[in-house]
Homo-oligomer: A and B are copies of this chain.
Amino acid sequence: MDKNIDQLCVDTIRMLALDTVQKATSGHPGMPLGAAPMAYTLFGREMRYNPENPRWFNRDRFLLSAGHGSALLYALLHLFGFEQMTLQELKRFRQWESATPGHPEYEPDYGVETTTGPLGQGFATGIGVAIAEANLAARYNRRGYNIIDHYTYAIVSDGDLMEGVASEGASLAGHLKLGKLIYLYDDNKISLSGETLIAFTEDVRKRFESYGWQVIQVEDGNDLAALYAAVEEAKGDTHHPSLVMVSTHIGYGTPVQDTFEAHGNPLKAEQLAETKKFYGWPPDQPFHIPEEALSHFRKRVKEGKKAENAWQELFQEYSNAHPSEARELSGMMEGSLPEGWDEGLPVFDPDPKGVATRKAGGQVLNALAGNIPSLVGGSADLDPSTNTALKGMGSFQPEGQCPAECQGLVDGPLDYRGRNIAFGVREHTMAAIMNGVALHGGLIPFGATFFVFSDYLKPSLRIGCISRCHNVYVFTHDSVGVGEDGPTHQPVEHLAALRAVPRLTVIRPADANETREAWKLALLRRGGPTALVLSRQNVPIFDRTQYSGAEGISRGGYVMAEASEGEAELIILATGSEVHLALEAHRLLNDEGIRVRVVNLASWEIFEEQDEEYKNMVLPPTLTRRVSIEAGATLGWHKYVGVSGEAIGIDRFGASAPGGEALANLGISVDNLVSRAK
């Protein structure tokens, strides 16, 4: 070998990634071959991390937004010494239950920081990671103790830059002046179906400058010195996020270099042979790793350990100097809720006029935020409507940028200490940023918008579910009860859509007190996000001496009212704002001697988790006369009402009219419920 050691390492990454794809006979060889030098620059020189403890809290984060290049990531992690990313796992690329799925899936023990593949997601998620870093640093660092102090890197592709979620995020990141966010753009001019010339000819540099980013050009993506200099320059500007545009060659060194054929399919045998020859690699030794290269890669293990040790010492000193901050931050880093986190939450008195659950939710959220320092979030420009402003907790803004008028409904610091995040009218990137905040750790993000706009953020919500992020979505304005804003603003199909998403818990509380309980569940439940679905309109606050307690929703569904005498002959099921209709029907029917039970099925997912005994107690299999009422699509309800039961719902678009009128005209009324129950 007469190559220098860095070049040898770069080529080792390339050949290992290539062999990984070839072994699977499935995957994307083109991107790793083109982007290996920039990846090596990051993992080999720039980034601070400890392969022996991939979860070290203050590590630099790396996101592979171009997730189809997963073989590159796995090769890097193996070579740089992440122990769980074994060579065996690389050989099981894209196989059942391997550590090396086709696209990266969040698994911090392997060193995989986020789930990517759907384009644009990694780009926007990284912004959330950087926001978490900036917020924690501003709140917890003290003079001489930069406890939280790391960079967030990503490799992004043409496809990422074309996606709207990335545009939204880029605009916000520029506004927020996230100087420690550094993205390397793998600018190879090729996408899945051909040259980017066919659909993507914008001036990327100018576009990112318009957002307030620093843009740096690297003319030759194989030039390691230039790559290093560019990343150093990016680091030098601490007031702007950086986009390093790197001109690369997809499938570099293969006979299909610079064509879309290099993108998404393994090489043919003769192409592989030619490529190995180009790199001077042994033709018949797949997964060959030169000793010299390996020992060079593994030097980073020692360096990483040293870096973490130094940080641990610093944290120890910080704990002595600032014990209360250290204690609080430690709890947050562990992801635990502080003692007393659910104390002093509002208790709402019975009130037939009642209150909108969005409003009750706002009060509960504010009380919780006072108890739980990790809770941060905001809305997609809807604070006055979603009631999600955290009063007195400031706005997450670059220091000195915003005048006092910027505070909107909040008070408090107008700098990175602010716990309210103004996402702008950008639902999609909001949800991706929530993923990033949650994955960074230390913070629990919430994000609010109108329920109908859950559509805008669904792709990121889905990634949040795959990654088991502890996110709380606050979806207000939850049915045609929205009223005059009309069908474009009235969710109909959205409950069904979200109930079908794995790992997501959907809770639609019926009154103010259930809203409190729902928020508690959202904070307690791990393993996936929770969506709180709240009403725009007032709903009665129930008298719980008359009905079962609001904490019943912790089992997902519960018997809220029983037949006044004897065994029930009919079950009415309802959720959210329709529960009070069910209870009113219950009263009327009982008066007529019809024995009715009312079941509040606030969360199907939680109910399904209960044991059979409980479920059969709530919904006795022998009691087959059932009616459900919910102001949304009936899809899914027959699981609970049966083929012979009746599901009252709305299987059409709503209409612009005052909310009560819209509901009544669409059959969501006590009258209709009573007549159909009979």
Q: Which residues of A contact B (CB under 8 A)?
A: 24, 26-27, 67, 94-98, 101-103, 105, 115-119, 158-159, 162-168, 171-172, 174-175, 191-207, 209-212, 260, 379, 381-385, 395, 397, 401-403, 405-409, 422-426, 428-429, 452-453, 455-456, 458-459, 462-463, 465-466, 483-489, 492-493, 496-497, 499-503, 621, 624, 633, 635-636, 638-640, 642-643, 651-653, 655-658, 661-662, 665
Q: Which residues of B contact A163 (CB under 8 A)?
A: 164, 168, 425-426, 456
Q: Which residues of B contact A405 (CB under 8 A)?
A: 194-195, 197
Cα A104 to Cα B204 with chains together (Å):
35
- Specify which of B165, B402, B425 is in contact with A162 (CB 8 Å cutoff): B425
Cα A166 to Cα B503 with chains together (Å):
31
Closest chain B CB from A140 CB (angstroms):
24
Given contacts A103-B489, A496-B636, A638-B642, 16 further A-B contacts (CB under 8 A): A95-B658, A101-B656, A102-B486, A105-B486, A175-B202, A194-B409, A203-B212, A204-B210, A206-B210, A260-B408, A493-B502, A496-B496, A635-B636, A636-B638, A638-B643, A642-B642
The answer to whether A488 touches B117 (Cβ under 8 A) is yes
Known contacts A67-B488, A102-B486: A194-B95 contact under CB 8 Å: no
Q: List 5 A-B contacts (CB under 8 A).
A: A164-B166, A205-B210, A260-B408, A635-B639, A636-B638
- Specify which of B195, B198, B638 is in contact with A638 (CB 8 Å cutoff): B638
Cα A642 to Cα B644 with chains together (Å):
8
Cα A102 to Cα B662 with chains together (Å):
13
Closest chain B CB from A335 CB (angstroms):
22
Cα A384 to Cα B167 with chains together (Å):
26
Q: Which residues of B contact A67 (CB under 8 A)?
A: 488
Known contacts A96-B662, A403-B197: A500-B493 contact under CB 8 Å: yes
The answer to whether B168 touches A162 (Cβ under 8 A) is yes
Give the one of A193, A379, A407, A665 with max B CB within 10 A.
A193
The answer to whether A455 touches B458 (Cβ under 8 A) is yes
The list of the 5 closest CB pairs from A to B, nearest first, reads A164-B164, A101-B656, A167-B167, A199-B424, A493-B500
The answer to whether A201 touches B212 (Cβ under 8 A) is yes
- Specify which of B425, B488, B640 is in contact with A191 (CB 8 Å cutoff): B425
The answer to whether A496 touches B500 (Cβ under 8 A) is yes
Q: Which residues of B contact A159 (CB under 8 A)?
A: 381, 425
Known contacts A95-B657, A96-B655, A101-B655: A488-B466 contact under CB 8 Å: yes
- Which B-chain residue is minimally distant from A191 (CB atoms)? B381
Cα A651 to Cα B429 with chains together (Å):
27
Cα A395 to Cα B485 with chains together (Å):
40
Q: Which residues of B contact A453 (CB under 8 A)?
A: 118, 459
Q: Which residues of B contact A401 (CB under 8 A)?
A: 201
Q: Which residues of B contact A397 (CB under 8 A)?
A: 198
The answer to whether B117 touches A422 (Cβ under 8 A) is no
Cα A489 to Cα B407 with chains together (Å):
40
Cα A166 to Cα B456 with chains together (Å):
13
The answer to whether B428 touches A164 (Cβ under 8 A) is yes
The answer to whether A493 touches B486 (Cβ under 8 A) is no
The answer to whether A119 touches B497 (Cβ under 8 A) is no
- Which B-chain residue is minimally distant from A199 (CB atoms)? B424
Closest chain B CB from A207 CB (angstroms):
4
Cα A382 to Cα B264 with chains together (Å):
11
Q: Which residues of B contact A211 (CB under 8 A)?
A: 202-203, 207
Closest chain B CB from A604 CB (angstroms):
9
Q: Which residues of B contact A203 (CB under 8 A)?
A: 209-212
Cα A158 to Cα B500 with chains together (Å):
34
Known contacts A381-B159, A502-B493, A653-B502: A96-B661 contact under CB 8 Å: yes
Cα A642 to Cα B642 with chains together (Å):
5
The answer to whether B459 touches A94 (Cβ under 8 A) is no
The answer to whether A210 touches B210 (Cβ under 8 A) is yes
- Which B-chain residue is minimally distant from A485 (CB atoms)? B102
Give the one of A117, A202, A384, A459 with max B CB within 10 A.
A202
Cα A502 to Cα B654 with chains together (Å):
10
The answer to whether A665 touches B96 (Cβ under 8 A) is yes
Q: Which residues of B contact A484 (CB under 8 A)?
A: 24, 26-27, 94, 102
Give the one of A166, A168, A485, A640 with max B CB within 10 A.
A485
Q: Which residues of B contact A656 (CB under 8 A)?
A: 94-96, 98, 101-103, 105
Cα A633 to Cα B194 with chains together (Å):
34
- Specify which of B98, B501, B643 is in contact with A642 (CB 8 Å cutoff): B643
The answer to whether B426 touches A164 (Cβ under 8 A) is yes
The answer to whether A635 touches B638 (Cβ under 8 A) is no
Closest chain B CB from A414 CB (angstroms):
10
The answer to whether B489 touches A194 (Cβ under 8 A) is no
Cα A203 to Cα B211 with chains together (Å):
6
Q: Which residues of B contact A402 (CB under 8 A)?
A: 197-198
Closest chain B CB from A260 CB (angstroms):
8
The answer to whether B497 touches A193 (Cβ under 8 A) is no
The answer to whether A462 touches B466 (Cβ under 8 A) is no
- Specify which of B194, B429, B492 is in contact with A164 (CB 8 Å cutoff): B429
